[in-house]
Amino acid sequence: MVDAGLLGRLEKIVGEGHVMTGYNDRAGHAVDQWARLRIAQNLSSAPEAIPDVVVRPKDVNAVTKLLSLANESFIPVVPFGMGTGVCGGVMAAEGGLSLDLSRLDKIVKIDELSMVVTVEAGVKGSVLESALAARGYTLGHCPMWIGDGTVGGWASSRVSGWFSSAYGAFEDMVVGMDIALPDGGVISTENIPREFGYPDFRQVFLGAEGMLGVIVRLRLKISRIPKVRRFRAYRFMDLDMGLEAMRRIMQQGMNPFVMRLMDPFETLVSYFGSGGVAPFLEQVKFFETVRRLLKLDLEGVSDSLLWPTLKRLLEHPFLVRHLLDHAPMASMLFVGFEGDEQATKDDLDESKDLITRATGVPLGPEPAEHWFKRRNQPLSYDKPIFDSGGFVETLAVAGLWRDLSSIYHKARALGGVRILIPAFFSNASQEGAVCHFRLLGMAKSAQSALDLYDWAVPRVIKQAMAEGSTVSYGSGIGLAKRDFIEDDYRGGGRLFWALRQAFDPQLLMNPQKLYPTTVPVAASKQDEIVGGGNISPVLTMTWDHRLLEQSVVTPEVPEEIVELLQIARRSDLKVVCQTGERASKPKNSDVKTLTIRLDQMDRVIHMDPVSCTVTVQSGMSMIYLENFLREKGFTLGYAPRARLSLSVGEYLASVAPHEGSPRYGTVRDNCIGLSAFLADGHQFSVRPAPGRSAGPNLMHAFIGTRGRLGIITAACFRVFPWPAVSDAVAFGCSEPKLAVAAIREILLQGIKPAWVLVVLRAPGGSRSRSRVVIQMEGSRRYVSHGMSVIREKIEPLGMTPENIRAEERLTPPPKLYPSVERFLPMDQVMSLVQRFSQDESPQCPEVHVTHFSSQGATVRLLLRDRAHQVPEDLASVFEADGTDEPLAKAFSVIKAGMDPEDLLLEF
C-alpha cells in the first residue's frame, strides 16, 4: 500500500529520519495499555494490526499536508499520542499510516488575562503541568494513575482525573480546538455564533478518537494553584452510607477537589500501601478474620507483601467475595478541599458534619494524605498479576446517585467463582458519581486469561448499563467498548455516520474504532420510518383529514410525531415545530409546511429528587418548569429570566453556547439526557448521566441547531436545591473596565455568583450610568463569604454598593430589541468595554456583558434605539456571515445525511 514513491513524498513533508518503516517502530505504534492487548502479548509477541509506516510531523502545516496526501492516496491514518490509551485506540485496524504527534510539542501561549493556555496536541500532560506550575497555574487534570498521555490524546479520549469534582473532566477544560481534516483544511471549534445554528462542534470532536480529524492545537482553561489542600478520612461499615455522604456533600453545593470511596476490598488493598491506617484497622475486626483465614502474616506489612497476599486472595475469589459480603466490613472515604486556609477549614468542618450524620467515623487526615502523596504511582500489583498470567482491568462507568448502589452490587456479583470485582467511587457531581470497577483475574495460561477476560468484561459493562450506567467514563471507547456505545447513544450510529460523511467521507481516519464503519447509512424513504408498518390506518386518516383543513397539528404523544413526519413526506410538506405564543414562519413563504405544535407534550416525565434531575417533555414552558421545581424545592438556576417564556424544546434548540451562570454552569452542560425524532422517524435518545466522558457527545447535535437535525421530544436537566439565601448587590460605576477586571478577580478567587451583569449606556444614560449587578445564591456561609469578597474587590474602585432585591438582578428589556452577541475572551471584553464606555455618539448601542467565566464573557449589543448601530469596525466580530465557512459546508453535509429530503425546517 505504501510504496517507495509515497515514502519519498512523506519524507519530503516531515523531513529525514521521521518516516519509520522498521518493524519495531511500526509494532510499537500499534499497541497501547489495553489490558486485553497485554494478555494477548503473552500469547504471541507480534501485535495484530500494525501500521505500514510511522510518520512524525513537526508542525500543523506538515499534519495537513500528510492528511491531504493520505486522503488522495486512499491510505488510512491513525493518530498516535503516546499510546497510553486503554482501549486499543491506536491499533491500525486497516494498516496505513501512524501519525505520531510527539513533535507537535509547543506550549504556544499562556494567556494570564483570559486564563487560557494554547498548546499543540503532542504536548505531554506532565510537561504542560510543570510549565504552568512554574507560573503559579494548574490545569486541574490529574490522571488517576501514572499514565501521562498527550493533551491531544486526552481530548480525543475524553479523559477525566481525580480532581473532576472541582475542575471538571478534561473536556470541561477545553475552550477550543483546531482540527486538521482529511481534506487538508483546518477548522476551529470556538466562538461559533449562536445564529449560525450549528451544533457545539467541540463536543463532537472531543472523544472522537481521531475518527473525524486530528486535533492539532488546543486552548485549555487554567486555574491558580490553590494555597492549601486539606484532607480527612472516614470509615463506613456500610458502603451505601458512604455513597449517601458523598451525595449530601455534592448536593450541599460543596466542591471537594477530591473525594474517593473505596469498597472493603479496595480499602484492604490500600491498607498495604499506607502506613497510617492503624487506628482504622484496630476498629475493623473483619481484617483480622481475613488474616487468620488466609494465614497471612501482616507483621511489618509493606508494599512487598501486597502481591503475595493479593495472589492468595485471587486464588479464592468466591470465598473472598463471600466474606466481604457477609462479614462486618469497612469502606473508607477520603475527602479533600483546597483554597485558602479559612475556607478549607470551614469546608472540612461542614463536610464532617454531613459525613458523621451519614454514620461515617472520622479517622483523621493521615490515610488520605498518604494516599494523596502516592496517587500517581502505578498499581504495585499490576505488573506481577500480568506476569503471572492474570489481568487487571479498570472499567469506569458513571451513574446517577439513585442507581449507583445497584450498579455496584449487581455488576460486582457477576464475578462469581472466577474473578474478583472490587470497586471505588470518585468523580462525584451533584447528580451522581463514577464507579471504577477493577476486574482482577488469575488464570493458568495466557489463553485461559484471554477467555476469562472476554467472558468478564462484556458482562460487567452490560450489567452496569442495565442498571443505568454509561458505557464508560473517561479513558475512551476504541475497540474495547465499541460494541456498547450504541446503547449509550441510541440512534447515535446514524448521526456519527453523518458526521463522518461531513469530515471524513472516505472513512480513512482511524477505521473501525468507536462505531463500526458498517453502520447503515440513513436511507430516506418511508420504509425506514420507525413504526411505519404498524400505524393504524384510521389514525392516519384522522391526521390526513385534519391536515387538509389546517396544516397545524398538535400531537398528544411523541409517537404521533413519527406518523406526522410520514404524512408530511407523503404530502410533500416541510415540517416546522412550534410551541407557545411564538408563531414562527418558514423563511421561504412559498414552501408548503406542516406545523407540529408541541404544546400538548408538556408533562413532567420524572422528577428525581435523589439525583437532582428532572425529565420533561419538550412542549413544557420553561416558566412552568421553574415554578414546578420551585414547589419541590429546586431551581434550574442557569436559565436567564428573559428566556423563561420559551418552551423547553425551543429553549434547547436555540441556546447560545455560553449561556448560563458562573455558579450553575451553562445550559448545555446542565442538559444531561435527551430524546429526539430524526426526520425519518428514527429515535435518538441519550439516557441521563452525570457525565458521559466517552465518545463524541452526540446529544449536542440537537442543542442549538434550531430543530434542523431532529425534533427534541424530551430532555433531562440537572436541577439545583433552591438556595437557602439569595442576595444581590448593584454598583454604579464610571470605569466599567475596572469593574470587569474586578469581576474576573472575584471569579478567580473561587467565588461563583449566580448572576453577573454589566450594563453600559443604559437608556437615557451617560457613561456614569454604567451599572454592575451581582447576585449570590447558596448557603448562608457561602453567600456571606462571597458578598464580603465582592465588596472587598469592588469598593476600593470607588463604586458604592446599593443593595437591591435579588429579583431585580436583571432588568430584561420590556420588549425584545434586535441584538447581536458574542462570547469573547477576557482581553477583548475589556477593550470593548473600555471603548463603549468612552463612546458618546448616539449610534452607540446599549451594551450588556454577561455569562462571565474566568476565560471571558458574552458581550451583547442591544439596538434599543433606531439610531443604534453595530460599529462598522466591529461588524466582522458581531455580524460574521458563516455561510462560506468549512463548518457551514460540514453542517450541510450532516443535514443531508440526517434529513436527505430537507424535511425539517429551521424554526
Ligand X SMILES: Cc1cc2nc3c(=O)[nH]c(=O)nc-3n(C[C@H](O)[C@H](O)[C@H](O)COP(=O)(O)OP(=O)(O)OC[C@H]3O[C@@H](n4cnc5c(N)ncnc54)[C@H](O)[C@@H]3O)c2cc1C
Please tell me the chain's helix, strand, coil percentages from 3-state DSSP, rounded to the nearest 5: 40, 20, 40
In contact, 555 and 595? CB cutoff 8 Å: no
CB of 539 to ligand X, least distance (A): 47
Interface with ligand X (CB under 6 A), residue total 40
CB of 153 to ligand X, least distance (A): 2
Which of 76-84, 193-201, 443-451, 748-756 is the region at the interface with ligand X (rule: CB under 6 A)?
A: 76-84
Instruction: Annotate each residue in 823-862 with x if it binds ligand X (CB under 6 A) or - if it does not, as one string.
Output: ----------------------------------------
Cα separation, 296 vs 307, in Å, equals 12
Please give the residues from 11 up to 70 whose contact with ligand X meets the rule CB under 6 A.
Answer: 32-33
CB of 486 to ligand X, least distance (A): 18
- CA dihedral sign of residues 740, 741, 742, 748: positive
Instruction: Pick one of 149, 649, 681, 690: the residue that binds ligand X (CB under 6 A).
Output: 149
> What phi, psi does 374 have (nearest 5°)?
-100, 10
Q: Which is nearer to ligand X, 120 or 727 (CB)?
A: 120
Q: Which is nearer to ligand X, 146 or 888 (CB)?
A: 146
State CA 18 to chain mean position distance. Answer: 35
CB of 389 to ligand X, least distance (A): 20
Neighbours of 315 (CB within 10 A): 11
CB of 465 to ligand X, least distance (A): 18
Cα separation, 205 vs 214, in Å, equals 9
| 372: contact with ligand X by CB under 6 A | no
Q: Which is nearer to ligand X, 25 or 559 (CB)?
A: 25
Q: Which is nearer to ligand X, 360 or 691 (CB)?
A: 691
Task: Enter the C-alpha cell of residue 728.
Answer: 444581590
In a 13 Å sphere around the CA of 855, the CA atoms on its Cβ side amount to 18
Instruction: Pick one of 84, 164, 770, 854: the residue that binds ligand X (CB under 6 A).
Output: 84
**Category of 225 on φ-ψ map: left (φ > 0), alpha (ψ -120 to 50) or beta:** beta
| 786: contact with ligand X by CB under 6 A | no
Q: Which is nearer to ligand X, 509 or 679 (CB)?
A: 509
| 83: contact with ligand X by CB under 6 A | yes
Cα separation, 12 vs 22, in Å, equals 18
CA distance to 46, 368, 372, per residue, from 360 (Å): 51, 15, 20
The angle formed by the CA atoms of residues 132, 135 and 139, to the nearest 5 degrees, is: 30
| 160: contact with ligand X by CB under 6 A | yes
**Closest CA relative to residue 36, chosen from 554, 417, 386:** 386
In contact, 331 and 239? CB cutoff 8 Å: yes
Cα separation, 322 vs 399, in Å, equals 25
Q: Which is nearer to ligand X, 87 or 774 (CB)?
A: 87
Task: Enter the C-alpha cell of residue 820.
Answer: 447581536
Instruction: Pick one of 6, 77, 175, 215: the residue that binds ligand X (CB under 6 A).
Output: 215
CB of 336 to ligand X, least distance (A): 16
Q: Which is nearer to ligand X, 78 or 186 (CB)?
A: 78
| 154: contact with ligand X by CB under 6 A | yes
Q: Which is nearer to ligand X, 453 or 543 (CB)?
A: 453
Q: Which is nearer to ligand X, 211 or 562 (CB)?
A: 211
CB of 873 to ligand X, least distance (A): 36
Q: Which is nearer to ligand X, 211 or 290 (CB)?
A: 211
Q: What is the DSSP string of 28-41?
A: HTS--S-HHHHHHH
| 153: contact with ligand X by CB under 6 A | yes
| 144: contact with ligand X by CB under 6 A | yes
Q: Which is nearer to ligand X, 82 or 709 (CB)?
A: 82
What's the burial of 132, exposed, middle or buried (CB within 10 Å: 0-12/13-18/19+)?
Answer: buried
CB of 268 to ligand X, least distance (A): 22
In contact, 257 and 163? CB cutoff 8 Å: yes
| 611: contact with ligand X by CB under 6 A | no
CB of 160 to ligand X, least distance (A): 5
DSSP H or E segment with residue 600 = none
Please give the residues from 182 up to 211 whose contact with ligand X meets the rule CB under 6 A.
Answer: 209-210
**Closest CA relative to residue 121, chosen from 82, 93, 88, 160:** 82
Please give the residues from 465 up to 494 whose contact with ligand X meets the rule CB under 6 A.
Answer: 474-476, 478
| 150: contact with ligand X by CB under 6 A | yes
- CA dihedral sign of residues 803, 809, 810, 814: negative
Please give the residues from 267 up to 326 whose contact with ligand X meets the rule CB under 6 A.
Answer: none
**Category of 10 on φ-ψ map: left (φ > 0), alpha (ψ -120 to 50) or beta:** alpha
Which of 72-80, 408-416, 704-712, 883-891 is the region at the interface with ligand X (rule: CB under 6 A)?
A: 72-80
Q: Which is nearer to ligand X, 33 or 617 (CB)?
A: 33
Task: Enter the C-alpha cell of residue 656.
Answer: 447560545
Task: Enter the C-alpha cell of residue 449.
Answer: 486469561
Instruction: Pick one of 51, 76, 96, 161: the residue that binds ligand X (CB under 6 A).
Output: 161
Q: Which is nearer to ligand X, 50 or 776 (CB)?
A: 50
CB of 213 to ligand X, least distance (A): 7
Q: Which is nearer to ligand X, 25 or 350 (CB)?
A: 25
Helix (H, G, I), strand (E, B) or coil at 888: helix
Q: Which is nearer to ligand X, 351 or 472 (CB)?
A: 472
Which of 74-82, 110-118, 348-356, 875-883 is the region at the interface with ligand X (rule: CB under 6 A)?
A: 74-82
Residues 6+ positions from 331 with CB-CB distance below 8 Å: 235, 236, 237, 238, 239, 242, 261, 262, 263, 264, 267
| 78: contact with ligand X by CB under 6 A | yes
In a 13 Å sphere around the CA of 786, the CA atoms on its Cβ side amount to 27
Instruction: Annotate each residue in 415-454 with x if it binds ligand X (CB under 6 A) or - if it does not, as one string.
Output: ----------------------------------------
Which of 153-161, 292-300, 859-867, 893-901 is the region at the interface with ligand X (rule: CB under 6 A)?
A: 153-161
Instruction: Annotate each residue in 497-516 with x if it binds ligand X (CB under 6 A) or - if it does not, as one string.
Output: -------------x--x---
Q: Which is nearer to ligand X, 96 or 147 (CB)?
A: 147
Determine the straight-line distance between the first and last CA of the chain, rounded to whole angstroms: 49
Instruction: Pick one of 51, 95, 140, 147: the residue that binds ligand X (CB under 6 A).
Output: 147
Q: What is the DSSP string of 790-847?
A: HHHHHGGGTPPEEEE-GGGG----SSPPPEEEEEEEHHHHHHHHHHHHH---TTPPEE
| 690: contact with ligand X by CB under 6 A | no
Helix (H, G, I), strand (E, B) or coil at 857: strand
Residues linked to residue 228 through DSSP beta bridges, in sequence order: 339
State CA 167 to chain mean position distance. Answer: 12
CB of 157 to ligand X, least distance (A): 4
CB of 512 to ligand X, least distance (A): 11
Q: Which is nearer to ligand X, 78 or 222 (CB)?
A: 78
Instruction: Pick one of 152, 242, 468, 750: the residue that binds ligand X (CB under 6 A).
Output: 152
Which of 79-87, 131-139, 193-201, 345-353 is the region at the interface with ligand X (rule: CB under 6 A)?
A: 79-87
Residues 6+ positions from 10 with CB-CB distance below 8 Å: 2, 19, 53, 55, 66, 69, 97
Judged by the rule CB under 6 A, the positions of this chain that interact with ligand X are 32-33, 78-86, 89-90, 101, 121, 143-147, 149-150, 152-154, 156-157, 159-161, 209-210, 214-215, 474-476, 478, 510, 513
